[in-house]
Structure 1
């Protein structure tokens, strides 16, 4: 009852701040958190556990706890990335790329954990390079980073191979590494044997019996598309796809979108979704315009 709050205000505040759907059913002492974005889901899980232990559950406290949880998850991502490069014996990776590596912990690709997959590809690449008399360190580095584009910001355009290559190029990786990442699905030509090695290692890791499931990836891709479509409108601050994509919650900037404009914007978003996507049933577009005024008494 305290989690739901009077007239559902607590649960609404939690869902709006985290972008995660809270499901409370008849199962005793159980709360389910539903979201296709694994990092948002982890922030929500951490925040919910803290709120239950704390006991003070109201919108202001929820906002404070969500901020704390977000910071904690961010720290875990960084420390995970640092642990992985230490474990793999890879040196000279900049902090920005280390953070991307840490994010892989929470991501799956066709049901296969992305961090475990990337470590497998790195180790297989190193073994193949050794057998061929090539530099195992270069192969291992390229293998670990090959799927970096899968944890990049969704507003970056292009395939995950292209996006990953652009990220590592930006942070100073050499062209052999860049090409091995961009070419691992044969979207561009190989410029070195390392690119071929990474492609082979990626195929070996992904094709193990039971390693992957196709449907999850397609589902996540569909929800990503819905969020991106709604985010493309001017004045939109945040977008969350919830209830397995049956509802889109759109938070707008109150200084840019008036109450009157909000109605038209919700209609425009719904029409764009109708035009650009295919889906069973209906998708509900909920637009939220919240104005907050803060004044200090001195």
Structure 2
């Protein structure tokens, strides 16, 4: 195509040169115009013919080139069509491969899911197997302990038999001597002596039999009680709250201390008068301490002080307004807390009038143990124990929650919290088991319902739980001293020691004054006297120890 364009351009150049030459010749020789015009005419004709020839050649060349271009275009179109077919075929092959890959992946995924399910089933089977092995191991341990206990019993029985044989032999010898002595007695004296000895022997034997029966019954009862109590305790995760006598409130800056004190101390006096707390403002930066034995007063003071700090206006009138507002809010909060406690325990039929007193227990403490949390814990434990024993769990929870309800207002009215609790529950129509639980958990009246017995047990468990209660060192020492004095007051006691933080007392008796049977009876008498004369949390184990030592020196 470029060659045709070049030829056409050359023809045009030649034509233009011929025209230019003819024009120049015509202007330079005007006298020879006829001759030159003919030559020019010839040149023009020649140029015209040359031009036409060149144009013809160019057209032919263009036609040929166009034909070649069309042929090439057809070839290219054919090639493109073929390539397109090949591409479609290739695309189909790729799609087929993708489908096969997807099918393989789906199959692989299904296989993996099946394997995962199989592994999960195997894992569950292993877990079940592990649980079975653990149960068997536990059974084996229990059986081993039982066998050890049986072995110890057999060994003790063998020792007892040997001791009895020795004692029989001694008795034979003694009886022989006695017969020799009795031979000189009258008939009435001999009969009286025989009856006295028979009575003493029967009494000793009765004590032994009673001790054996009591030991077996206590062992079975303790085993059953421990299982029930541990099952109930394990199902409960109780909340722990420790109350202190001070509360710290942070200040935005140390400048607020002067504003809280006020001119001539008017603000702080008004605040302390309205809330009943002591505000301690010392050198501690950005801190004000609220001191009071009453948690409710501390809470009211804390909320009011925080609102005053946030408001910024601190003067007597504003303090009084804020304190009254906070007291109303705290009353609503107390009522809501009591309602939430009842809902949490599933006690929906409690009179709403009791909600306020139940919620108020949150702001009372007993040996630093929060009374509301203690009551909820007692309710939960009593309910779980009732479920284990097939009793009325709801009534047990109800009695457990309300057994200390009198503590909510006992500090305001004065008097025993049990008497106040009885009056309060009677006013709101509580059933008799609840009233019995209020009195019976302090041994002020006998237990009349099995659910009440569970409440008393749950109350002892909650109070005796490690870390639940605290008492002052002075009261603790006095309690231990009184415990030892009670034990030492019995005849035949050589010494006594309170151990295990007062939960066990070990009594050493004189073997010359007290025999084994009397030592057994002494342990029961000591336990009874401790229950009558001493107040203590949980229970106290009484261990009476009688031993005989024979010492000799080899020289």
Give TM-score, length-normalised by structure 2: 0.38
Gapped regions of structure 2 (runs ≥ 5): 1-257, 476-555
1:148-183 Cα deviation digits (max 9, x unpaired): 111114343432222212211111001111111121
User: Of residues 343, 346, 349 in structure 2, which corresponds to 1:86?
Assistant: 343
Query: Which residue pairs with 2:376 in the alignment?
Result: 119
User: Of residues 262, 275, 281 in structure 2, which corresponds to 1:24?
Assistant: 281
1:181 aligns with 2:181: no
Change (3 A) 1:113 1:155: closer
1:131 to partner: Cα distance? 2.1
Change (3 A) 1:192 1:157: farther
Aligned pairs for 1:1-298 within 5 A = 1-215=258-472
* Structure with the larger helix share: 2
1:20-79 Cα deviation digits (max 9, x unpaired): 111000001101111111111111111000000111000000000000110111111011
- For residues 158 and 59 of structure 1, the distance between their equivalents in structure 2, rounded to whole angstroms, comes to 36
1:198-217 Cα deviation digits (max 9, x unpaired): 1100000110111101239x
- For residues 465 and 393 of structure 2, the distance between their equivalents in structure 1, rounded to whole angstroms, comes to 23
Q: How much is the aligned-residue C-alpha RMSD, in angstroms?
A: 1.5
Change (3 A) 1:113 1:157: closer
- For residues 443 and 459 of structure 2, the distance between their equivalents in structure 1, rounded to whole angstroms, comes to 12
2:410, 2:416 within 8 Å by CA — same for their partners in 1? no
1:218-248 Cα deviation digits (max 9, x unpaired): 8xxxxxxxxxxxxxxxxxxxxxxxxxxxxxx
1:231-269 Cα deviation digits (max 9, x unpaired): xxxxxxxxxxxxxxxxxxxxxxxxxxxxxxxxxxxxxxx
- For residues 354 and 270 of structure 2, the distance between their equivalents in structure 1, rounded to whole angstroms, comes to 33
1:99-127 Cα deviation digits (max 9, x unpaired): 11111222221111112111110011011
- For residues 215 and 19 of structure 1, the distance between their equivalents in structure 2, rounded to whole angstroms, comes to 25
2:336, 2:359 within 8 Å by CA — same for their partners in 1? yes
Which consecutive segments of 4 or more residues in structure 1 shift more than 4 A?
none
2:382, 2:393 within 8 Å by CA — same for their partners in 1? yes
Comparing 10-19 and 156-165, the one that deviates more: 156-165
3-state secondary structure, aligned to 2:279: strand
1:179-198 Cα deviation digits (max 9, x unpaired): 11121110112221222111
Largest Rg, 1 or 2: 2
Change (3 A) 1:33 1:157: closer
3-state secondary structure, aligned to 1:56: coil
Gapped regions of structure 1 (runs ≥ 5): 219-298
